[in-house]
Amino acid sequence: MEHYGQLQRKVSHMWDLVVTQAREQLRASKHRRKGDRLVITWQEQTYWLVNRPPPGVPSVLEQGPEQGSHSAKRELRTKDSGFYRQEIECIRKALSRARVKSSICLEAYLKFSDQYKPHDPIMSGCLPSNPWITDDDAYWIMNAPSVAMPTRLRVERWAFSFWELLGDSMGRTHFLEFLGKEFSAENLCFWEACEELRHGAQAQLSHRVDAVYQQFLAPGAARWVNVDSRTMELTLGGLRQPHRYVLDLAQMHIYMLMKKDSYPRFLKSDLYRGLLADALVPPETRRRVFPFMWKPRHSNPSPALLPTSVELASGKSAIIPDDDGGSQEV
């Protein structure tokens, strides 16, 4: 009953505050212009979109009596010595953890920004042109998922990280070609099969899990992959009740194997160097910080047509172009 009374007082106080604020806002809005009223309305909507509690998080008014101060005191009394030993151990680990200086973090951010700046269409512009403002779709055609020859920026991005290579369908194609020369193409095929299993449809999930197991993990499989015994034991235990994440441990093991072993050799191989040398380089254009804000100047339809001496002598006004691309009346 005590908590229920506190809840009623909180609700009444908050409701009175809301009503008072609404009356004052309504009275003040009558003296504002229409544009100001629209700006204030948008600000209020943005505030509530940002400060809205996420789903599943209880607010102050939704907390019941069992979550009050009395339950917290009972919880403190029931904590034993093992709980405090665990707390002390966690605090000791936190104190002994290696810290990174702010200067090192800032240098890493600067290095990351310098690395990705040429690949940012907003900061460096689109080559050969921005298709959104020029109606030229050459940029989209050159950067399609599958093209005859990729651009140099696209090939350079494969060397940033292994995930950048796997995130590009064309990069995976060339990496699969390299793994085929090293007789380890089944590693990438297994990784792609796990990705299809994770993001695929739920229908016939158990059948698809069994197909991946029989093709890559079963003894004597046609495309057997090298997985350690501990990971294989955990994977076999999860196959009793198959789900879409049952092969995550084996997939991560193969991923780290390709990242540490095959990926560095791919970057040093003649295949990647040949792709980098033969990559397409679009023609350079003038780069601007914000190219979408640039507007082309209106050119004079006939710059050679200047006012004649007869028109100037008669006192008639004429429009002549100036050096800045504009015009002036004389």
Does 329 have pLDDT greater than 60?
no
**Residues near 247 by beta carbon (within 8 Å), at least 6 away in sequence:** 194, 197, 209, 212, 235
pLDDT tens figures, 244-285: 899 999 999 999 999 999 999 999 999 999 999 999 888 765
Spatial separation of the C-alpha atoms in residues 137 and 144, rounded to whole Å: 11
Q: Could you write out the three-class secondary structure of the chain?
A: CHHHHHHHHHHHHHHHHHHHHHHHHHHHHCCCCHHHHHHHHHHHHHHHHHHCCCCCCCCHHHCCHHHCHHHHHHHHHHCCHHHHHHHHHHHHHHHHCCCCCHHHHHHHHHHHHHHHHHHCHHHHCCCCCCHHHHCCCHHHHHCCCCCCCCEHHHHHHCCCCHHHHHHCHHHHHHHHHHHHHCCCHHHHHHHHHHHHHHHCCCCCHHHHHHHHHHHHHCCCCCCCCCCCHHHHHHHHHHCCCCCCCCCHHHHHHHHHHHHHHHHHHHHHCHHHHHHHHHCECCCCCCCCCCHHHCCCCCCCCCCCCCCCHHHHHCCCCCEEECCCCCEEEC
**Residues near 131 by beta carbon (within 8 Å), at least 6 away in sequence:** 137, 138, 139, 140
- pTM for the predicted model, two decimal places: 0.57
Degrees, nearest 5: CA angle 109-112-114: 110
Are the beta carbons of 282 and 141 closer than 8 angstroms?
no
320 or 181, which is more confident?
181
Degrees, nearest 5: CA angle 159-250-192: 55
Q: Could you write out the three-class secondary structure of 242-300?
A: CCCCCCHHHHHHHHHHHHHHHHHHHHHCHHHHHHHHHCECCCCCCCCCCHHHCCCCCCC
In Å, how far are 36, 182, 194 from 262, measured between CA atoms? 61, 9, 19
- Average pLDDT for residues 189-217, to the nearest whole number? 90
Spatial separation of the C-alpha atoms in residues 278 and 152, rounded to whole Å: 8
pLDDT at 67: 47
Rounded (10°) CA dihedral 195, 159, 289, 125: -70
pLDDT tens figures, 55-102: 666 665 555 545 444 444 445 556 788 888 888 988 888 888 777 778
- Average pLDDT for residues 207-216, to the nearest whole number? 92
When pLDDT is cut at 50, 70 and 90, the band that residue 179 belongs to is: very high
